[in-house]
């Protein structure tokens, strides 16, 4: 209920988290939602984090879990992360695993 | 020589969350609390009788400085607050009100005296300031500096006549309304007559109340320009800026602790580092007992506290790390200050590390659970990313 998605093309899905926190309270729902909508159909997910005000390491863990369960060579990129959310990615070097883009248009220009 | 007073009662809201654990005058710059630098500077000019008004976390100040003996000075504290149910309740009187309280109870200020804010490091020639004050023959002289227009909103701004008398004093004006860019540095020299202008038993502020009143009443109140270095740490961003300015020599003469081991690297005692096995670019200060493992990257300016452990492969760029910090090999710390439980970026935004739940990445170096971090999934994932990176 706090998530929505939009198909960008055959292989790319946009998922938006419309919830202020991505932490232990919301990650089980997120993981379930992710696997239900992505299945093995999409090899690339663009994750819109612009509404997420706070994320902790369980949020990070959920993203890694989702990535692991995607097809081989699957990719998750993130878009619109707020400063304190992005800080968590850079501190743990997860920004190398999940490329960050400022705006959705930047991602689409590059990957779609 | 003159007597002095340090204003140390402020709550330091602009320096939150640092001031959650220490009061503003105790903020360490390269390991020395600001107020300690002030005391030592006073001592250099023969000023040895110093009053300090305390309130917010006053005990922290009193317990550190005691009676001042170990700093070669004599201290008198004036606590503003009271005790209720065994709890100290802070009740600050404002800067001028704090001066008045000391004078009321002891007549401490019996001749020309100097008052400074406890939240700035200065290397002012106090003798010269004293002489300028005597020359003007006023009852108050403030030491001024020019700042860029964009900074005026943080300070008191003055307008003077050709004799240096202050005709107008504007506390923290909007940029569009500022009468000049010449500002109050928080260093004042007063004659005891100043107390005639401060009301008894009520909170009263120097900048927003006393000085505008002196200007309005046409009291002999002067401002003098003296060239000196002044590092104001009134705001959260100022702590890193000042530390970085000292290390990069924009501020000169501030004592860097430890021993200089190469042109740009200073170490405390017993630092475990092999300079040929790390990628290090100064300026860097490393505190006593800290262990820096092989393959660590440090890009200065960086200060690392005492008894830290920086694991192999960690990357530190332009940051400052508190004592007893453990930094795991997955960490890439860039443009941050780690202070206690907080991770503060150079723009002043902060997070509580505990909220991020990254104790597998950053922890206390004394924590005996550290050996278990390798069992953490996120740690392993981060490590895998770090290892891929290293293989390129």
Domain ranges of chain B: 3-236, 256-391
Across the interface, do A92 and B331 touch by the CB < 8 Å criterion?
Answer: yes
Residues A82-111 have a mean pLDDT of 89
**pLDDT above 70 coverage of chain B, percent:** 97
pLDDT at B389: 64
Residues B345-362 have a mean pLDDT of 88
The model's pLDDT over B228-277, given as tens digits with 9 standing for 90+, comes to: 999 988 888 999 999 999 999 999 999 999 999 999 999 999 999 999 99
Helix A27-38 × helix A57-68 angle, to 10°: 20
Across the interface, do A92 and B361 touch by the CB < 8 Å criterion?
Answer: yes
Facing residue for A94 by CB, picked from B345, B377, B385: B385
**Six-digit token string for B19:** 């001031």
Task: Report the DSSP beta bridge partners of residue B298.
Answer: B280, B316
Closest CA to B233 of B249, B258, B248, B251: B251
Across the interface, do A64 and B358 touch by the CB < 8 Å criterion?
Answer: no
Query: Helix/strand/coil (H, E, C) string of chain A?
Result: CCEEEEECCCCEEEEEECCCEECCCCHHHHHHHHHHHHCCCCCEEEEECCCCCEECHHHHHHHHHHHHCCCCCCEEEEECCCHHHHHHHHHCCCCCCCCEECCHHHHHHHHC
**ipTM beyond 0.90?**
no
Across the interface, do B361 and A91 touch by the CB < 8 Å criterion?
Answer: yes
The model's pLDDT over A57-75, given as tens digits with 9 standing for 90+, comes to: 889 989 999 998 898 888 9
A93 — contact with chain B (CB < 8 Å)?
yes
Domain spans of chain A? Answer: 3-111
pLDDT at B149: 94
Q: CB contacts < 8 Å between A and B, how many? A: 61
Closest CA to B208 of B133, B144, B164, B155: B155
Q: A94 to chain B: which residues are within 8 Å by CB?
A: 381-382, 385
- For residue B48, the SS3 value is coil
- Burial (0-12, 13-18, 19+ Cβ within 10 Å), B122: buried
Mean pLDDT for chain B overall: 92
CATH placement of domain B256-391:
2.160.10
Alpha-carbon distance B240 to nearest alpha carbon in chain A (angstroms):
18
Q: B343 to chain A: which residues are within 8 Å by CB?
A: 87, 91
Across the interface, do A87 and B345 touch by the CB < 8 Å criterion?
Answer: yes
pLDDT, greater one: B372 or B189: B189
A84 — contact with chain B (CB < 8 Å)?
yes
- Taking 3-state DSSP, the helix, strand and coil percentages for chain B, each rounded to the nearest 5, stand at 30, 30, 40
Class of domain A3-111 as given by CATH: alpha beta
pLDDT at B54: 95
The helix or strand, by DSSP H or E, that contains position B246, with its residue range, turns out to be: helix B236-247
User: B198 near B210, Cβ under 8 Å?
Assistant: yes
Q: Which fold, B3-236?
A: Spore Coat Polysaccharide Biosynthesis Protein SpsA; Chain A (3.90.550)
* Distance separating alpha carbons of residues B205 and B219, to the nearest angstrom: 17
Query: Is residue A1 over pLDDT 60?
Result: no
Across the interface, do B378 and A90 touch by the CB < 8 Å criterion?
Answer: no
User: B352 near B366, Cβ under 8 Å?
Assistant: no
Number of other residues whose CB lies within 10 A of the CB of residue B140: 24
Mean pLDDT for chain A overall: 90
* Distance separating alpha carbons of residues B23 and B310, to the nearest angstrom: 29
Long-range contacts of A23-31 (CB under 8 A, 24+ apart): A23/A54, A23/A55, A23/A56, A23/A58, A23/A59, A24/A56, A24/A58, A26/A2, A26/A59, A27/A58, A27/A59, A27/A61, A27/A62, A29/A2, A29/A3, A30/A3, A30/A62, A30/A66, A31/A62, A31/A65, A31/A66
The model's pLDDT over B271-326, given as tens digits with 9 standing for 90+, comes to: 999 999 999 998 999 999 999 999 999 999 999 999 999 999 999 999 999 999 99
Q: How confident is the model at residue B384 (pLDDT cuts 50, 70, 90)?
A: confident
A20 — contact with chain B (CB < 8 Å)?
no
Alpha-carbon distance B30 to nearest alpha carbon in chain A (angstroms):
24
């Amino acid at each position: 209920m706090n998530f929505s998605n939009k198909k960008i093309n055959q292989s790319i899905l946009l998922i938006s988290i419309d919830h202020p926190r991505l932490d232990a309270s919301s990650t089980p729902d997120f993981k379930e939602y992710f696997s239900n909508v992505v299945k093995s159909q999409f090899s690339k997910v663009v994750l819109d984090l612009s509404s997420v005000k706070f994320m902790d390491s369980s949020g990070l863990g959920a993203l890694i879990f989702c990535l692991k369960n995607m097809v081989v060579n699957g990719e998750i990129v993130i878009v619109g992360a707020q400063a304190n959310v992005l800080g968590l990615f850079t501190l743990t070097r997860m920004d190398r695993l999940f490329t960050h883009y400022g705006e959705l248009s930047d991602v689409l220009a590059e990957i779609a | 020589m003159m007597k002095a007073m340090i204003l140390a009662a402020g709550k330091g809201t602009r320096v939150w969350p640092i001031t959650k654990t220490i009061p503003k005058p105790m903020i360490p710059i390269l390991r020395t609390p600001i107020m300690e630098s002030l005391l030592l500077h006073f001592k250099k000019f023969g000023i040895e009788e110093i009053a300090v008004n305390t309130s917010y976390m006053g005990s922290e100040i009193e317990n550190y400085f005691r009676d001042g003996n170990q700093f070669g000075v004599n201290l008198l504290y004036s606590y503003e607050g009271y005790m209720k149910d065994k709890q100290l309740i802070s009740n600050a009187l404002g800067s001028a009100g704090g001066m008045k309280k000391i004078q009321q109870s002891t007549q401490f200020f019996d001749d020309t005296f100097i008052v400074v804010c406890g939240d700035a490091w200065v290397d002012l020639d106090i003798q010269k300031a004293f002489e300028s004050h005597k020359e003007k023959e006023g009852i108050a002289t403030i030491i001024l500096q020019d700042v860029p227009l964009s900074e005026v909103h943080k300070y008191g701004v003055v307008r003077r006549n050709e004799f240096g008398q202050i005709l107008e004093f504007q506390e923290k004006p909007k940029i569009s309304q500022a009468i000049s860019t010449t500002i109050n540095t928080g260093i004042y020299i007063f004659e005891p007559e100043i107390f005639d202008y401060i009301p008894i038993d009520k909170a009263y502020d120097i900048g927003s109340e006393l000085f505008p009143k002196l200007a309005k009443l046409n009291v002999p109140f002067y401002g003098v320009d003296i060239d000196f270095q002044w590092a104001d740490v009134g705001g959260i961003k100022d702590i890193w800026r000042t530390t970085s300015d000292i290390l990069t020599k924009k501020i000169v003469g501030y004592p860097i602790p430890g021993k200089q081991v190469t042109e740009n690297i200073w170490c405390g005692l017993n630092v475990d580092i092999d300079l040929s096995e790390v990628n290090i670019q100064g300026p860097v200060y490393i505190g006593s007992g800290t262990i820096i493992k092989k393959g660590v990257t440090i890009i200065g300016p960086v200060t690392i506290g005492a008894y830290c452990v920086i694991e192999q492969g960690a990357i530190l760029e332009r940051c400052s790390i508190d004592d007893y910090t453990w930094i795991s090999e997955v960490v890439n710390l860039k443009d941050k200050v780690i202070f206690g439980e907080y991770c503060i970026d150079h723009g002043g935004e902060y997070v509580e590390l505990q909220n991020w739940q990254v104790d597998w990445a950053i922890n206390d170096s004394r924590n005996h659970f550290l050996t278990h971090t390798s069992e953490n999934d996120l740690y392993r994932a981060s490590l895998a990313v770090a290892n891929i990176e290293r293989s390129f």
